[in-house]
Amino acid sequence: MIRAVPPDSLWQATAQPEPDAPALAAEERADVVVIGGGFCGLSCALHLAEGGCDTMLLESHGFGWGASGRNGGQLIPCFKDNPEDLIARHGPDLGGAMADLGAGGGDLVADLIARHEIDCAFHRDGWIHAVHSQSALPAIEGRARQWQARGRDVRMLGRDEVAALTGCNDYVAGYLDPSGGGLNPMSLARGMARAAQRAGARLHAASPARRIARQGDGWRVTTPLGAVRCNQIVLATGAYSDDLVPALRRSILPMQSLQIATEPLPADLRATILPKDHVVSDTRRLLLYFRLNEEGRLVFGGRGSTGGEAMKPAHLARLEATMRQYFPQIGDIPLRYRWAGQVDLTPERALRVHHPEPGFWAVIGFSGRGVAIAPAVGKALAGAVMRDSTDGLPLPVTPMRPLPFHALRRPAMAGAIGWAWLRDRLERAGRRR
């Protein structure tokens, strides 16, 4: 089987080597089979194995091949929803536990990196959520108050402070969470895979799960060259979900996010752009995000197409123009890398966890916030699987809800994106009046 190589990404070019994990090529048995080798599946497999569970992980391509190895590498330790929103939606116990799970994601990843000695250029200098307009400000101020009330060391930044910390004059304010940070996500995924192997999990790359069938009280999962019987299955296939479970694939709106990275910036520019190594994403509906890597390359991301994996030259050109507009001081410094990944958006932009039958678990819909959150969710799922119960799982469990008319999603998404773009533009223009 030919394994698809991820695009020409900065992370792929600078990552630690892939772990050795041959394709599944026999009929085997395991307690639990995890399907999907991104942060969520890898964390689940690692924590299952550490809990003494006989675990196998199947990945179609290589570990981190999906969103986990292609993202912005920004460690953002909170769900997109504020604690009070989670509490309003799920009640004080579950909503509060979910907020804490998200907030704990940063420490969990830091602990995994330290405990398993994962070399992934990790630094924890803080995440700035940059506010693009006055109308976006109250929600972010509310978030700061809510997290401060829960004892987190977060604070608001004024316009000048954001400009000084980012090197970009385009923002009206910012929110600083010092527990955020940056890393090479492909190296983290590969390091987590190695850690799971050392803990005793059997990992198989180039092993797409093609079919899941009930067999007695358990399951049989078939791959092109082998099969495995197991008691429980965890599906963590994200935006790259295929027709293994069609209802899961049809419950998300896959959306491309593009990134570009420059040649390393000279020292004088380095001193003006992100001088304290913060990672940044902004509050626009079609968000922009940026950071430096350890070589001093400016890495800049934004939305791509709704139409599959291929990068469109017009989208890349627009992203590059935006980067140069936001950071005019970089002049014509050349780009070196361009790549894309798919985000698993749900219509409500919230994670979905499913447990439709005994022994079957699925998670999807990180909606673009997964470097800290997906490992935390994977760990929480491992606990639920080992208890064989949703009791104590700090996440809401819901029935699968495939979207009606999923096949027609592209024109609908294009319309929604156009509307979001217009509102972002109007807010940005209004801010200047």
Binding footprint of ligand FAD on the chain (CB under 6 A)? 35-41, 58-61, 65-68, 70-74, 76, 208-209, 236-242, 244, 257, 259, 289, 301, 341-343, 366, 368-372, 374
Cβ proximity to ligand FAD, 349 vs 428, nearer residue: 349
Closest contact distance (angstroms) between CB of 157 and ligand FAD is 19
Cβ proximity to ligand FAD, 271 vs 276, nearer residue: 276
Closest contact distance (angstroms) between CB of 420 and ligand FAD is 17
Cβ proximity to ligand FAD, 18 vs 328, nearer residue: 18
DSSP secondary structure, 258-327, as one string: EEEEESPPPHHHHTTSSTT--EEEE-SSS--EEEE-TT--EEEEEE--SS-SSPPHHHHHHHHHHHHHH-
Closest by Cα among 156, 158, 154 to 171: 158
Closest contact distance (angstroms) between CB of 387 and ligand FAD is 22
Phi first, then psi: give them for residue 274, nearest 5 degrees. Answer: 45, 55
Closest by Cα among 146, 141, 202 to 173: 141
Closest contact distance (angstroms) between CB of 407 and ligand FAD is 19
| Placement of tokens 């910012």 in the chain | 174
Q: How many CB atoms lie within 10 A of CB 337?
A: 20
Cβ proximity to ligand FAD, 67 vs 292, nearer residue: 67
Closest contact distance (angstroms) between CB of 183 and ligand FAD is 9
Closest contact distance (angstroms) between CB of 160 and ligand FAD is 26
Cβ proximity to ligand FAD, 285 vs 431, nearer residue: 285
Cβ proximity to ligand FAD, 158 vs 410, nearer residue: 410
The helix or strand, by DSSP H or E, that contains position 357, with its residue range, turns out to be strand 352-357
Cβ proximity to ligand FAD, 134 vs 398, nearer residue: 398
Is there a contact between 96 and 83 (Cβ–Cβ < 8 Å)? yes
Q: Quick one: DSSP state of residue 138?
A: H
Cα–Cα dist 100/94, whole Å: 10
Q: How far is CA 212 from CA 176, 242, 356, 412, in A?
A: 44, 13, 14, 32
Closest contact distance (angstroms) between CB of 426 and ligand FAD is 26
- For the packed helices 137-149 and 83-90, what is the interaxial angle rounded to 10 degrees? 80
